[in-house]
Structure 1
Amino acid sequence: MSAPHPGPPSGASTPLPPPAEVVALSVPGLPEIGSSDDLAGLIARACAAAGIALGASDVVVVASKVVAKAEGRSIPAAERERALDRESVRLVAERGLPDGRTTRVVQSRSGPVMAAAGIDASDVAEGTVLLLPADPDASARALRSRLRALLEPQLAGGAPAVVVSDTSGRPWRDGVTDFALGAAGLEVLDDARGRLDRSGRVMEVTVRGVADEVAALADLVKGKAAGTPVAVVRGLGAHVSDDDGDGAARLVRTGPADWFAFGHVEAVRAALGLDEREVAPPPIAPGGPVRDRVARAVDVAAAGRGLGAAAVSSDGEVLAVSGPAYDVGVAVERLRVALWAERLDADVVPGAVRTVDGEELVDASVAVELRVRERS
């Protein structure tokens, strides 16, 4: 999930009238795709056999899985974890599974933030997994170029747009939906900033994700297990261009504009100075025994920049912290932050500070307790 687009552009784009009708047609009859297959040729023949005459204003939506298969992106399943490390740009969130494995949400080298960098173990040969296309926009451009050549007599050099689609979950929403992983020949964003709404007010943040909407529509007729990885969407000719355009890469927002660069646990750990995966992740199921969550919080607080000379001992839901006053103060705050990430809070019960003639010593030895409780 990303933040709203910053600021309206200096000049508003010309609004496009909404189409009276948009139609999605599934394309049946494609065989199992293998490495080096002429995917565009197979799509063109399947469309012809289904009575679908491709036009230059159409959008051909192709599941990334068959694109990856044609590009030879299959690897042995035993190499999955190493491949996940290679295909990951950065870790966004990680959780432990009951069987001891972990599941990771990462920014993939192919562009978007996805679970397991989009590595897929479904509908593939036994003992293998499938990586995403290495450059989804390049894949879309190559498919479109090939379709242009195949359709030259009928379309006089024109070509349908191409969207390479994949499936992803969404923050704050249950269920998955398809989105544009790659695109060629399609206006992927419709920037309405600067236009007037029906009340005469200037729209300041509205930027429609046209390519993602097309991918989601196409998925309704492709299905997930129907063996129809291709669909044709009609009625959006106003968004189709002769040139390939910027592609779907411009839909990916990272860096300072990304408000949600980390999961809440990972944000806390990064703020505390931990390296990625320095401490085992929490389980995927929320909650769990308080004792286990407290122990994990202590590990997190002690990692990264550490607790200095402070010593921490744990008795279930009570933590005892002792040592030089400054280090104890640092340790208490690091522990409270780490506990917060575990959905826990703690009441601090101060102990005595050693004094001489009524004056606190700078290196005074302090002992405090943290009494842990569920965070409301």
Structure 2
Amino acid sequence: MNVFAVEGLPEIRPGDDIAALIEQQVDIEPDDVVCVASTIVSKAERRQADHADFPAGERAKQIAANIGEIAGEKKDPRFAQAVLEESEELLLEAPMMLAVTRFGHITVNAGIDRSNVPDAELLLLPEDPTASAKRIHNELDVPVVVTDTSGRPFRHGQRGVALGWAGLPAARDWRGTLDRDGREMDVTVQAVVDELAAASNLITGEGAGGTPVAVVRDWEFGDFDGSDALFREEEDDLIRPALKEWSNARN
């Protein structure tokens, strides 16, 4: 496959039509997959905010104080309040806020960004990234993945992940197929939207490049059953209960 960045996009403003701006810069082909950074989706959807929009409650003040004590520097309790309001729950309150977003993604600080936000102090994640992907998909008529970067347990660094998608399943289901030795595969489900997000992130970058959209060309989903079960339900998750138990014992 070929992955390339869409050059020439302007700074995205509230209300901008992202699909139309993409079409002005590149001729989209029928089998393309368009990967769009959540930062520009959030900007277009008016998800910018300031610390002053989140007056800190007692819980936020306590969380900020605890993290600040661990880090050895003062933390703004208004930021903690923003994370609380953007979260369904916190799995950890210290040494970091590990949040479950309202659409099921688990990430530090509910994914709130403080870089590349020229007109505000904070950039919140899209409220419903899959709905956002569907809107862009309906205009471009090709699969769309809304991406973000996220850290990984047990590893240094961040990598691209999918927050929302439309026009393709989230995963390829290999179960029931045979490996090279004729053994039937019974557990493998490949999270292709995460892999496409990671591939696009290699091209779009992280800093001041100004290329928040990548096009994946000549890639095929193939003859597989599809699945949209990307975010684990709590009852199927082994890690979430362990984190809660550890956090409760620590507190």
Give the structure-1-normalised TM-score: 0.56
Aligned match for 1:59, one of 22, 33, 36: 33
Partner of 2:216: 233
Partner of 1:188: 170
Once the two structures are superposed, residues 279-309 of structure 1 have per-residue CA deviations (whole angstroms, 9 ceiling, x without a partner) of xxxxxxxxxxxxxxxxxx6xx4xxxxxxxxx
Question: Aligned partners of 1:262, 1:168: CA distance in 2, in Å?
Answer: 21
Once the two structures are superposed, residues 150-201 of structure 1 have per-residue CA deviations (whole angstroms, 9 ceiling, x without a partner) of xxxxxxxxx2110000010111111110011110012211000111111000
Could you tell me how far 1:82 is from its partner in structure 2? 2.6
Q: Which has the larger radius of gyration?
A: 1
Partner of 1:46: 25
Could you tell me how far 1:254 is from its partner in structure 2? 2.7
Aligned match for 1:114, one of 95, 107, 110: 107
Whether the 8 Å contact between 1:187 and 1:239 is mirrored in structure 2 is: no
- Unaligned stretches of 5+ residues in structure 2: 55-78
Q: How does 1:305-316 map to 2 (within 5 A)?
A: none
Whether the 8 Å contact between 2:84 and 2:90 is mirrored in structure 1 is: no
Partner of 2:179: 197
Whether the 8 Å contact between 1:64 and 1:165 is mirrored in structure 2 is: yes
Once the two structures are superposed, residues 6-64 of structure 1 have per-residue CA deviations (whole angstroms, 9 ceiling, x without a partner) of xxxxxxxxxxxxxxxx11011110000010011110011121xxxxx211210000000
1:172 aligns with 2:154: yes
Whether the 8 Å contact between 2:148 and 2:161 is mirrored in structure 1 is: yes
Question: Aligned partners of 2:113, 2:217: CA distance in 1, in Å?
Answer: 29
SS of equivalent residue, structure 2 residue 93: strand
Once the two structures are superposed, residues 43-92 of structure 1 have per-residue CA deviations (whole angstroms, 9 ceiling, x without a partner) of 11121xxxxx2112100000000000000001113323332112111211
Question: Aligned partners of 2:42, 2:227: CA distance in 1, in Å?
Answer: 21
SS of equivalent residue, structure 2 residue 126: coil
Partner of 1:211: 193
Whether the 8 Å contact between 2:91 and 2:98 is mirrored in structure 1 is: yes
Once the two structures are superposed, residues 119-176 of structure 1 have per-residue CA deviations (whole angstroms, 9 ceiling, x without a partner) of 11110025420111100000000011122xxxxxxxxxxx211000001011111111
Question: Aligned partners of 1:161, 1:126: CA distance in 2, in Å?
Answer: 30
Question: Aligned partners of 2:184, 2:227: CA distance in 1, in Å?
Answer: 26
The residue type equivalent to 1:95 in the other structure is A
The residue type equivalent to 2:88 in the other structure is V
Question: Aligned partners of 1:63, 1:119: CA distance in 2, in Å?
Answer: 14
Partner of 1:141: 134
Q: 1:193 to 1:246 in 2, by over 3 A?
A: closer
The residue type equivalent to 1:267 in the other structure is E
Partner of 2:9: 30
- Unaligned stretches of 5+ residues in structure 1: 1-21, 48-52, 97-102, 148-158, 273-296, 301-376
| Equivalent residue pairs, number | 223
SS of equivalent residue, structure 2 residue 97: strand
SS of equivalent residue, structure 1 residue 43: helix
Percent sequence identity is 42
Runs of 4+ in 1 over 3 A off after TM superposition: 237-240
Could you tell me how far 1:269 is from its partner in structure 2? 4.5
1:221 aligns with 2:203: yes
Partner of 1:268: 246
Give the structure-2-normalised TM-score: 0.83
Stretch moving more, 199-208 or 122-131: 122-131
Once the two structures are superposed, residues 235-285 of structure 1 have per-residue CA deviations (whole angstroms, 9 ceiling, x without a partner) of 223459xxxx976xx300031111110565x41354x5xxxxxxxxxxxxx
Question: Aligned partners of 1:196, 1:37: CA distance in 2, in Å?
Answer: 47
Question: Aligned partners of 2:40, 2:159: CA distance in 1, in Å?
Answer: 18
The residue type equivalent to 2:165 in the other structure is A
Q: 1:93 to 1:263 in 2, by over 3 A?
A: farther
Whether the 8 Å contact between 1:24 and 1:233 is mirrored in structure 2 is: yes
